[in-house]
Amino acid sequence: MDTIKEAPCWLTFLPGELPQTSAPEETARWELAHAGARCPLRVDEAMGDAFEIGEDGAITGGRTGVLYGAYRLLMARAAKEPLPRGVQRPRYALRMLNCWDNAEGDIERGYSGRSLFFEGGRFAYDPARMRTLGRMLASVGVNVLCVNNVNVLGPAWRLIEDGLPELARLADIFRAFGVRLMVSIDFAQPLRHGIPTADPLDERVQRWWAEQTDKVYAAIPDLAGYLVKADSEHRPGPFAYGRDHADGANMLARALAPHGGALVWRCFVYNCQQDWRDRKTDRPMAAYTHYAPLDGRFDENVILQVKHGPFDFQVREPVSPLLLAMKQTRMAVEFQLAQEYTGHQIDLYAMPPMWREVFDDMGAERVQAIAAVGNLGRDENYTGHPFAAANLFSYGLFAWDPDAEPRALLSLWGRLTYPNFSEREQRSLCDMLMESRAIYEQYTAPLGLCWMVCRDGHYGPGPDDYEYAAWGTYHRADRDGVGIDRTASGTGYLMQYPDWLRERYEDAARCPDALKLFFHRMRYDDVLSDGRTLIQRIYDDHFEGVERAEAMAKTLRALPLPSPDREVALERMERQLANAREWRDQVNAFFHRYSGAPDAHGRPLY
Ligand code: GCU
């Protein structure tokens, strides 16, 4: 019998033993019985993922529904929370986790060790850890797991060919937890099979995909579908053949349709070979420009997956205008749990407050599915920093119910993960997580500016690293000011928004400070809404960000974290503090050298 050997993260409410079941409703029975909960289960297949917990504790639901109901009941008990009443139904049918794992075992933007799934070009996993992961995902309602990187590198392209038996074995493990697998595919795959083209309108290409997809579904009948990154950062795609992305996506969608599979097509398309001297091309405009005109042309089983902001998971971005533009297309919003630009799971950065903002601006009804890039790896605690698990946990519950309040999610995670904490300690943990993003933002890139990060690895400051690069990522700081005018008189990006959002940002004086430099170019002596000059605000934020990080470290040291979480969290906090000071001093020095402005409080500027 497999047992959990490692730290169980938020799964403290379940026994150490792991279920050896093969279907979700069996897993539900097993978990309830082993947790000593005598709750009758009634499976009503028509309910699908939905469940209802009756007054008597009986759980009624679909085959996956009863499993979600069982976990919710056990979690509520452990956290001493009231049980959810009435029928609980997820907002989205597809609640996806995209792992960027490469077949060689490394992970693109992975900060928790090597891959949980692959090593040396093949599957290599610990079945007990897979079950634990299945439990983690099911306990918060995540139901689709894409195991390989969207950049399909090296042997990963064989996953849908001779890798199928292994993929099917993995699918069996996750099926017991109601989690369906998905694979990232390479658009140019037919070229490896003697077909001289990958043109989506070529019959040979269409036939190859249809036949190969039949083989895939013969091995894994419930595969959730394919995930595709095409014509993006040097990945192959339909542009090479003069076709557009509706042609490309629909071709694959038609191969999947007979099997009920979804074709998830990422919209991260922009010119990554821009000349920095070119002031007309504005990268945030790219996704909307490419896709908005295609609205209405995608097949029913195509889902366009759009990053939540128009750039690339920067510390703060406005909502992507593409998410508000396509009314006749199924869309998914994409978040990134992996802390690529947000501290590498060394610095604390709890994401629910950011998701809340995105959803408040976008409206949950604008998307039909939700995805997040994973933050998992082979580290003992799965997420590198034990607190980074709060992002995975909250993501699942948020994908189920995007009306969820960030504090409620983080506080539930805290109570399940550290049941030994007093109420006061729980509160200080939750407060710390709730303000972690604002703190990170203060000591890194100011006021929505973006791209001041170190180019090599994306951790730590590099204020000019992206300024003369080909990635379309410029802040254009000079001796007078900083930022890009993205209004109608500038690049025109703002015109991609519906009126109500355009109006919020259009007038530099009224644009919220948090995004001021995203939308406007400002002089260092321009005055912000709180009466401070821009340059003084930049200095103040950076000094204050470090002070608040130091206060956070103090709070952390006082918490009775169990081992090994304590050692890991304290060691990472020291690195966060060093990082924060480096950001503060480099960014302040950068702007001081350009502006020549002293700090009003006489603090050191180097
Ligand atoms: C970012 C990231 C890449 C990743 C890409 C994507 O640019 O740095 O590593 O491949 O996003 O989302 O596809």
Task: Note whether 444 and 551 are same-domain residues.
Answer: yes
Domain boundary among 389, 417, 445: 417
pLDDT for position 2: 47
Q: Which residues pair with 97 in a beta bridge?
A: 145, 372
Q: Is residue 511 part of a domain?
A: no
Task: Note whether 398 and 530 are same-domain residues.
Answer: no
Domain boundary among 393, 417, 441: 417
What's the one-letter identity of residue 106?
D
Interacting residues of 270 by C-beta distance below 8 A, sequence separation 6+: 232, 283, 286, 287, 472
Task: Note whether 9 and 71 are same-domain residues.
Answer: yes
Nearest to 181 by CA among 162, 168, 200, 165: 168
pLDDT for position 8: 76
For the CA of 150, the closest atom of ligand 1 is 13
Q: Is residue 189 part of a domain?
A: yes
**268 ligand 1 Cβ < 6 A:** yes
Measure 101 CA to ligand 1 centroid, in angstroms.
12
**Active-site residue identified among 45, 222, 233, 503:** 233
Task: Note whether 53 and 126 are same-domain residues.
Answer: no
For the CA of 232, the closest atom of ligand 1 is 13
Task: Note whether 63 and 106 are same-domain residues.
Answer: no
Supply 95's token pair: 């609640």
Task: Note whether 120 and 193 are same-domain residues.
Answer: yes
Is 340 noted as a catalytic residue in this protein?
yes
Instruction: Provide the residue range defining the domain that includes 441.
Output: 422-484+521-606
Task: Note whether 136 and 30 are same-domain residues.
Answer: no
Task: Note whether 160 and 287 are same-domain residues.
Answer: yes
Give, in order, the Cα–Cα distances in Å from 487 to each of 141, 191, 363, 554.
Answer: 40, 44, 23, 43
What is the C-alpha separation between 328 and 98, in angstroms, rounded?
Answer: 25
Is 312 noted as a catalytic residue in this protein?
yes
Q: Where are the beta strands (DSSP E) in 471-604?
A: 481-482, 522-523
Supply 185's token pair: 């595919």
Q: Which residues pair with 265 in a beta bridge?
A: 228, 304
For the CA of 334, the closest atom of ligand 1 is 12
Task: Note whether 71 and 32 are same-domain residues.
Answer: yes
Residue nearest (by alpha carbon) to ligand 1 atom 6? 268
Measure 232 CA to ligand 1 centroid, in angstroms.
9
Measure 500 CA to ligand 1 centroid, in angstroms.
30
Pocket test for ligand 1, best of 152, 340, 341, 342 (most atoms within 8 A of CB): 340
Measure 450 CA to ligand 1 centroid, in angstroms.
15
Spell out, as residue ranges, where the chain has pLDDT lower than 50.
1-5
Q: Is residue 503 part of a domain?
A: no
Q: What is the CA 576 to chain-centroid distance, rounded? A: 21
**267 ligand 1 Cβ < 6 A:** no
What is the C-alpha separation between 93 and 343, in angstroms, rounded?
Answer: 31
**235 ligand 1 Cβ < 6 A:** no
**150 ligand 1 Cβ < 6 A:** yes
**312 ligand 1 Cβ < 6 A:** yes
Residues in the chain, overall count: 606
Q: Which residues pair with 123 in a beta bridge?
A: 118
**229 ligand 1 Cβ < 6 A:** yes
Q: What is the CATH number of the domain that holds 533?
A: 3.90.1330.10
**Active-site residue identified among 317, 340, 379, 506:** 340
**466 ligand 1 Cβ < 6 A:** no
Q: Is residue 505 part of a domain?
A: no
Q: Which residues pair with 347 in a beta bridge?
A: none
Q: What pTM was computed for the model?
A: 0.98
Task: Note whether 325 and 356 are same-domain residues.
Answer: yes
Q: Is residue 339 part of a domain?
A: yes
Place of tokens 């995805």: 371
Q: What is the CATH number of the domain that holds 174?
A: 3.20.20.80
**471 ligand 1 Cβ < 6 A:** no
Domain boundary among 51, 79, 107: 79
pLDDT for position 7: 57
For the CA of 307, the closest atom of ligand 1 is 12
Supply 96's token pair: 């996806």
Measure 269 CA to ligand 1 centroid, in angstroms.
11
Residue nearest (by alpha carbon) to ligand 1 atom 12? 268
pLDDT for position 174: 98
Task: Note whether 293 and 171 are same-domain residues.
Answer: yes
Q: Is residue 508 part of a domain?
A: no
**119 ligand 1 Cβ < 6 A:** no
**Active-site residue identified among 101, 312, 334, 565:** 312
Measure 387 CA to ligand 1 centroid, in angstroms.
23
Q: Which residues pair with 119 in a beta bridge?
A: 122
Backbone CA torsion sign across 336, 341, 343, 349: negative
Task: Note whether 215 and 257 are same-domain residues.
Answer: yes
Measure 313 CA to ligand 1 centroid, in angstroms.
9
Measure 593 CA to ligand 1 centroid, in angstroms.
32
Collapsed DSSP state (helix, strand, coil) of residue 571: helix
Domain count, the chain: 3
Instruction: Count Cβ atoms below 10 Å from residue 296 Cβ, excluding itself.
Output: 10
Q: Is residue 381 part of a domain?
A: yes
Residue nearest (by alpha carbon) to ligand 1 atom 11? 312
**166 ligand 1 Cβ < 6 A:** no
Pocket test for ligand 1, best of 102, 107, 108, 317 (most atoms within 8 A of CB): 108
Ordered strands of the 41-43 beta sheet: 41-43, 59-61, 51-53
Measure 245 CA to ligand 1 centroid, in angstroms.
19
**368 ligand 1 Cβ < 6 A:** no
346 burial class (0-12, 13-18, 19+ CB within 10 angstroms)?
buried
Q: Is residue 242 part of a domain?
A: yes
Measure 339 CA to ligand 1 centroid, in angstroms.
12
